[in-house]
Amino acid sequence: MALFKTTYLSLLKHLKKMGLACLLLFQGCITDYEGTIGGSSEVLVVGGILTNEFKKQEIFLSRSYSFENLGPRYETEAQVIVTASNGQTYSFYETPKGVYKSLEPFAAQEGLSYQLEITTVTGDAYVSSPMGLPPPTTLESLHAKATTNDQGVSGISILANGSGPANATKFRYDFEENWKIIAPYWSPYDLIVRSEGRTQINLAVVDRETEERVCYGSARPEQVLLTSTSSLSRNEVVNFPLRFISKENYLLQHRYSIGVKQYGLSEETFAYYQTLERLSMASENIFSEDQPGFLQGNITAIADPSEAVAGFFEVSSVSEKRIFVNFEDLFPGEEPPGYIVDCLLSAPGADINAPVGSRVLLNAIYSNLVRYYGVNRGEVPGGSSFLMVSANCGDCTTLGSNIKPNFWVD
């Protein structure tokens, strides 16, 4: 009997890069699922979403893993094909980390259904249910509003407005948020150790070789964001809450952006995500009577239909928008939030009389814990001549990427 831990919150994190939340038997720390699944300790995990965007579509394949393994095993050398109901086939090629991309870009079309076919390197074959493209919906607008949440915390709410035809009533939202980071104690110079001997130390102040002052952070949500308009008189999503950010959150310190995708879902896809949402909420409460079990998606093993296969093959329409938010626009005259950490200057010793391996400054440099800020002119009494600051305060790449996103507008 294999012992697995299934954490549906971990599941949601795993495929955020693909904009997809599908089931993983993922090692976690919350809920135990004890038993065998189809006689195998490595269940096939399938994640895929076809959209009406003209692009190279992606399918993700991996295996669940149990305690004795270090991590998930990506499914390699598989044959992946998507077949449309008009006979058109689309082949996929393997890229790193279990992602298979279509050889050519294509967009899912209304009036057609699509079926995913997978053959593993061992010859095991799997097929999805045929999935049609729901009618397209429109993400009409995004806006940020200064507000106070139910806990009395002041901040901003990101709200979405969307619509669709009468037969498109199921919506899912996914977003990526980005923010500018400016290292408050950045210096154009760096302090390096050229050599260290038993009786001498050779330090040098040099020009920094990479951009480490301005960076950009990013994150994705950890929850499923669903809504339905089927009970409303008009098929419109009005002020759907996507994100609340406290006004004290450093994400708002300089400039914040959020890119949102609105997916129009079929009834089957919506029901899957509803179940996934319920299970992920239950897994966060170890005292819940509704403990998560195994969630079967729409993928079936051809040789043995009773074999458990995790994940879901989704075909959905998508509409997207992005907005930028400046703190002063929503809270004029107020001080923006501070940096993510408190920044303190130090001047650790570089005593050549200390034994090799116990020189505080050198060890901090070797461990990548500090950055050079300037010459100590009494700011730190009794310290060495080098003013240093923690890496987070002097090097933005510890918190984000120094590559400016191509969508970013200052």
pLDDT at 199 over 80: no
Widest Cα–Cα separation across the chain: 82
For the segment 272-294, the average pLDDT, to the nearest whole number, is 64
Neighbours of 105 (CB within 10 A): 12
Classify residue 241: in a domain, yes or no.
no
276-279 contact pairs (CB < 8 A, 24+): 276/8, 276/11, 276/12, 276/21, 276/22, 276/23, 276/224, 277/223, 277/224, 277/226, 279/8
Answer with the residue of higher pLDDT: 28 or 342. Answer: 342
Q: Which of 316, 351, 376 is the last residue of a domain?
A: 316
347, 298: one domain = no
Per-residue pLDDT tens for 63-120?
Answer: 886 545 556 689 999 999 999 999 999 999 999 999 999 999 999 999 999 999 999 9
32, 90: one domain = yes
Q: Which of 283, 316, 349 is the last residue of a domain?
A: 316
Classify residue 173: in a domain, yes or no.
no
7, 130: one domain = yes
Classify residue 364: in a domain, yes or no.
yes
Classify residue 143: in a domain, yes or no.
no
Looking at the 3D structure of the chain, how many domains does it have?
Answer: 2
pLDDT at 32 over 80: no
Per-residue pLDDT tens for 298-318?
Answer: 999 999 998 989 899 999 999
301, 385: one domain = no
The pLDDT of residue 384 is 87
Handedness of CA 154, 176, 296, 134 (dihedral sign): positive
285, 366: one domain = no
Confidence of residue 295 (pLDDT cuts 50, 70, 90): confident
Classify residue 71: in a domain, yes or no.
yes
38, 123: one domain = yes
The pLDDT of residue 73 is 84
Whether 336 contacts 253, CB under 8 Å: yes
Residue ranges in 129-192 assigned as alpha helix (H): none
Classify residue 384: in a domain, yes or no.
yes
Classify residue 250: in a domain, yes or no.
no
293, 195: one domain = no
pLDDT at 285 over 70: no
The pLDDT of residue 314 is 95
10, 117: one domain = yes
Across the chain, mean pLDDT equals: 85
What percent of the chain lies above the pLDDT cut of 90? 68
Q: Which residues constitute the domain of residue 287? A: 3-134+267-316
pLDDT at 31 over 70: no
Whether 344 contacts 387, CB under 8 Å: no
**Angstrom distance (rounded) from CA 45 to CA 63:** 5
311, 342: one domain = no
Classify residue 211: in a domain, yes or no.
no
